[in-house]
Amino acid sequence: MICYGLVFNKQINELRAALGHISGRSLKYCNDACLRRYLVARDWDLHKAKKMVEDSLKWRATNKPEEIRWHKVAHEGETGKCFRANFYDRFGRTVLISRPGMQNTILNLRNGQEQISWLVDFTGFTLNTNISVKAARGTINILQSHYPERLAISFLYNPPRIFQAFWKAIRYFLDPKTAQKVNSIYPNNEDSVELMKSFFDMENLPSVFGGKATLTYGHEEFSKMMAIDDMKTAKFWEFNNKPCHNMNGHSGLEVAPEEAMPISVSSA
């Protein structure tokens, strides 16, 4: 009888050995859970996973995502275009709500969670909605290359026809495994409704996604929550009032045990 836990641990240890000597923040980043996600993303191919981790470590050394702090990007979240919901899916995962009809974004991941469920509300989405394919491509590249296996599932709720051309353009850059996690949901389609019910408690789900709750975003309250997460992040990385890093406008996403995960995505 095969003990898969032992097999996975063996492969994780082999990846760690293949990476050779690493220290400091890189060592702290490369915990077992992290290395497992890279292995899963590359179908447990040791050589491909090793290259992926090495590329991520180089990217992190340059961009320093662990130094992002809320006060540097708070202005991007004022309209609530993208934020962490005050409810979780049926599997206890953090829920990210995006509203592309508005401006700028910010996300924070629930501590202790490895994956998120992503809900996209297309209310207000028009031909004039300024979403850059170039910016989307850059964000996709960062998420897929440096934060593998973080997305559990995504729901595009009632996307308009005008979105289809944009979706075709960005789908080309999605890894097939990631693309399979993206679902278009239509309120008049029974299968779509049942799929949403299988992932969410309809009492908690906002009405804009077919649920019974009211979608609200309070920037002040969200800012307080993010400030607390900043302190947890600083503690994890052992920072002592060190100046933060804003990544020169690029998307930022940071996750490790007991730390927050901010994302900053520009629509221009």
The string of DSSP codes covering 216-229 is ---HHHHHHHHHHH
Tell me what pLDDT residue 115 has. 87
**Mean pLDDT calculated for residue range 126-141:** 72
pLDDT at 266 over 50: no
More confident residue, 135 or 17: 17
| Cα distance between residue 48 and residue 115, in whole Å | 22
Q: Give the residue, 220 or 32, on which the prediction is more confident.
A: 32
What's the confidence (pLDDT) of residue 239? 63
**The pTM is what?**
0.75
Rounded percentage of the chain residues whose pLDDT exceeds 90: 36
- Of 56, 102, 61, the closest CA to residue 80 belongs to 102
Residue 265 has pLDDT above 80, yes or no: no
Instruction: Answer whether residue 43 shows pLDDT above 90.
Output: yes
Compute the average pLDDT of residues 14-30: 94
Structure tokens at 187: 């309120």
As a residue count, the chain comes to 268
What's the confidence (pLDDT) of residue 221? 77
Tokens describing residue 170:
């960005």
Whose structure tokens read 């994302």?
A: 263
Whether the pLDDT of residue 168 is over 50: the answer is yes
Q: What is the pLDDT of residues 183-240, one digit of tens each?
A: 999 999 999 999 999 999 999 999 989 999 988 777 777 778 777 777 877 777 776 5
Spatial distance between the Cα atoms of 189 and 206, rounded to a whole number of angstroms: 18
Is the pLDDT reported for residue 158 higher than 60?
A: yes
Q: Which two tokens stand for residue 230?
A: 């900043």
Of the pLDDT bands very low, low, confident and very high (cuts 50, 70, 90), residue 254 is very low
- pLDDT, averaged across the chain: 79
